[in-house]
Chains A and B, each alone.
Chain A
Amino acid sequence: MTRSMPLSLRLTLLSSAALAVVAAGAIAPASAADKTQVTLLTIGYPDKDTIDANTGATSPGIDKLEAAFEKANPDIDLVITNIAWGDGATGYTPKTEAMVQANQSCLYEMPGAASFAKRGLLQNLDELIAKDKDFKNVWGKQLETDKVWGPGGQHLYYIPDNTGERVINWDAKLFEDYGVEPLSKNPTLDEIAEKAKKLTGTDPKTGVETYGYWYQGKYTVWQFLTIAHAMGANWGGVDQTGKMTINWNTPEYLKALNWLVDMSKYAPRGALASDSMPDGFLSDDNVVAIIPEGEQGYFIQPLIANPDLQKRFRSSFNLRGSDGVGGLSTITPLAMAASCPNKDAAWTALKWLAGAPEAQAYYFQASGRLPTASTGAEAVPAIAKFPDAEVVLTQPQFAEAPYPWAASQPRFSLQNAIEAAIAGTATPADALAQAQKETEDWLAKQAG
């Protein structure tokens, strides 16, 4: 049996409830209004926490980045749109273009940011840095190498928020077996050549045939460009009008190609057919002593999982040119749209997303990407325990500026030239001349 509530009491309760709703409504917008909204486009992170079916490792969802940011910046409401890399018409490129055109976001993870900068769609960050009295450069030389052409000249239009890297891996056990001094932290071309020659032959302790040097067959172009840069070569550039010049057929590149062809004698005979690290890498069966182009994905997680390997498989900095940089850049640029309505808050967010240890830790946990900032050791303590932690964590700060043609015809023409020279089907000079001709055809087409 139920008893009905008196009408007066019901009216009183209803009135109270309505007042409470109105009051809450009045309070909530006031709280949100205190926060400045900053919108961010990210690419390729998990939307929610995911568990790897093979390893059982958890990759944190993008909401974890948002939560960490808002905890550190309570005055800013970060709204993240996370898209997949995708492919072709459904890839990130047309989606980014659509969002930029529609002013849908303030901050963008933006591969290909240089072309957006050239079109005047990005904020010149040099202006924001000049106004920011508290600005601290935790990205090193990257703030110089990442400058690209925009409407007002060559400026900083993005800061890398995470990166891949290319270090020189080397097998300490093989060095010890042969009684060769370990590879130095900043090896030179001469040191590599000299030690590679000594390390090629029959291992005096195990009797196994070993090799001093390695090159990644189908991807040797990146190694070659690093070697050439260390020898003083310069691929060219892009001028203010967007016109690109590329010069492969120079004495420096020829010298570099001759050097690489010579070094290929100290690598396994079939290296030209490879597309990654040598068989046995990171195991007791490894037979290659110096392994350039050590990409983060090949060695970092296995070394974390098996700390014993850290003593044997070591890392040195990649080769550098006279400008102090060297090695392929595989950064993820973080840029601000010129149309962003609240640039102060967006600048605060950009600095945090590209430099804060919490953000850097998130990128590593979610996708294995490395820190770009000097706060990296704090961000990924597992790497900080490596004997070569400094090398692994700071190499990205010394990478060359991104190559604007990295996914275009000049790369494939040069790669073919290198393969032909190593295989002996063309002389290094002829191979570079052919690459130059193909590249010039491509450049002519770009110019219309």
Chain B
Amino acid sequence: MTPESSPPSRDSGVVARLRRAFRGALVWYGFVLPPLFLILVFIGYPTAIAFQQSMFTEVPGGGQKFAGTYHFERLLGDPVFWGALGNTVLLGVAFLVIIIPLSTVLASMLNRVRRGATPLKVIYFLPQLTSSVAIAILFHYVFQPDWGLLNGTLRLLGVNPLPLWLAEPRYTLTGSRAAATILAVWAGLGYFIIVVLAGLQSIPNDLYDAAAIDGASPVQSWWYVTLPSLRPTFIFLIITGTIDQLARFSDLWTLGGPGGSPARSLQSIVMYIFQQGFVGSDFSLSAAAAVVFFVIVLIVTSIAFWGFLRREFSAVR
């Protein structure tokens, strides 16, 4: 028997199988590696540097010295940081509390529209395709207290005194935070409607038929069939909406300038991070705030996953 014709050993069989398997998957690794490389370079590396920077202090003349938790302690004692965090949470909660019910109602109505539904969807979705900076510039005019579009309309309707909107930093329903929330709802409504609409159209008709046989009215069907069936959609929107709101920056920056005017009422946590780093040149404090922000997003995502998504994934499996 020539060596060429000898049967392969058990080991070489395993290696060959692995090689075949790898060869088959090679092309897929080829597709995955470039984006992975980009993620490591542009997200992984800066994240690691931010963690490192948060525990070091720059020394005048160059170099760094280890500072431990010093910058985190500074952060905890900084009322501006807490104000920015409070604004971020408040604006995020207000946004979700308004936009989810509103988009659900509008999507349910849109779902019933037989003619002209597509143009309506396009119209609702258009703000989503517009630059958030452009929208903020537009709303800056809309909410200008003395000659803005909204107060001009209210003046015609005889409202007196007129709301101050962007000139009012207090916690009121007609202050700067309310204006920023209306802007965010207007800009995000189209996306929420489209997602809820997709959720509505995935509900089996059998459920509605069964409800009708049981004598449910349209409102009862909506309450007892539609809303529970939209649970995964709501969870998805709450999670992505929360993360989006936590990272809010460009529209607030455009409305309120670098300091989140008036009186920092529009300063979000990301604006705080930016201002400490690039205006105050305090990159260590900025990095510490970024780390805290990272941890908050991680906690929100973990709660969402363990509390809601895991159950949905299990149901799918």
Interface residues of A (CB under 8 A from B): 217-218, 268-275, 278-280, 407-409, 412, 415-416, 419-420, 423, 425-426, 434, 438, 441-442, 445-448
Whether B282 pairs with A423 at a CB distance below 8 angstroms is no
Distance in Å: Cβ of B32 to nearest Cβ of chain A: 31
Contact A271 B280 (CB under 8 A): no
Q: Within the complex, what minimum Cβ distance (angstroms) separates B71 from chain A? A: 11
Interface string of B245-267 (1 = CB under 8 A from A): 00000000000111101111000
A contact residues around B199 at 8 Å (CB): none
Q: Which residues of A contact B60 (CB under 8 A)?
A: 447-448
Could you say which of A280, A412, A442, A447 contacts B282, with CB atoms under 8 Å apart? Answer: A442
Candidates B59, B162, B164, B169; contact of A425 at CB < 8 Å: B169
* B240 in contact (CB, < 8 A): no
Bound: A273/B139 CA distance, A: 12
Total cross-chain contacts (CB, 8 A): 98
| Interchain CB contact under 8 A, A279 and B146 | yes
Q: For residue A409, which residues in chain B have a CB less than 8 angstroms away from its CB?
A: 275, 279-280, 282
The count of residues in chain B whose C-beta lies closer than 8 Å to any C-beta of chain A is 36
Q: Which partner residue on chain B sits nearest A242 by CB separation?
A: B60
B residues whose Cβ falls under 8 Å from a Cβ of A? 58-60, 74, 79-80, 143-148, 151, 161-162, 164-170, 176, 256-259, 261-264, 275, 279-282
Asked if B280 and A269 make an inter-chain contact with CB atoms under 8 angstroms apart, the answer reads no
Contact yes or no, A412 B258, CB < 8 A: yes
Can you list 8 A-B contacts with CB-CB less than 8 angstroms, sorted by A residue number?
A270-B164, A273-B167, A412-B259, A412-B275, A419-B262, A423-B169, A425-B169, A446-B281
Output the nearest chain B residue to A438 by Cβ-Cβ distance: B80
Set B59, B256, B259: member contacting A448, Cβ < 8 A: B59
A275 and B275 alpha carbons, distance in the complex (Å): 19
A269 interface neighbour in B145, B169, B261, B281, Cβ under 8 Å = B145
- Residue of A217, A273, A434 near B165 (CB, 8 A) is A273
Q: Which residues of chain B come closer than 8 Å to A434, judged between CB atoms?
A: 79
Chain A residues positioned under 8 Å from B167 (CB to CB): 217, 269-273, 423
Most buried by A among B60, B161, B256, B263: B263
Contact pick for A419, options B148, B258, B261, B280, CB 8 Å: B261
Which residue from chain B places its CB closest to the CB of A445 in the assembled complex? B282
Which B-chain residue is minimally distant from A221 (CB atoms)? Answer: B259
Chain A residues whose C-beta falls within 8 Å of the C-beta of B74 in the assembled complex:
441
* Inter-chain contact A270/B144, CB cutoff 8 Å: yes
Given A269-B145, A445-B280, A415-B259 contact (CB < 8 Å): yes
Roughly how many angstroms separate A22 CA and B274 CA in the complex, as a whole number?
63
* Closest CB in chain A relative to B286 CB, distance in Å: 11
B280 touches A275 (CB 8 A): no
A273 lies within 8 A of B169 (CB): no
Q: What is the CA–CA distance of A445 and B275 in the complex, to the nearest angstrom?
A: 15
What's the nearest-Cβ distance from chain B to residue A202, in Å?
15
Which residues of B lie under 8 Å from residue A419 when comparing CB positions? Answer: 169, 259, 261-264
Of A269, A272, A273, A279, chain B has the most CB atoms within 10 Å of the CB of A273
* Complex Cα gap A272–B168 (Å): 8
Q: Which residues of A contact B166 (CB under 8 A)?
A: 270, 272-273
Nearest-neighbor residue (CB-CB) of A426 within chain B? B263
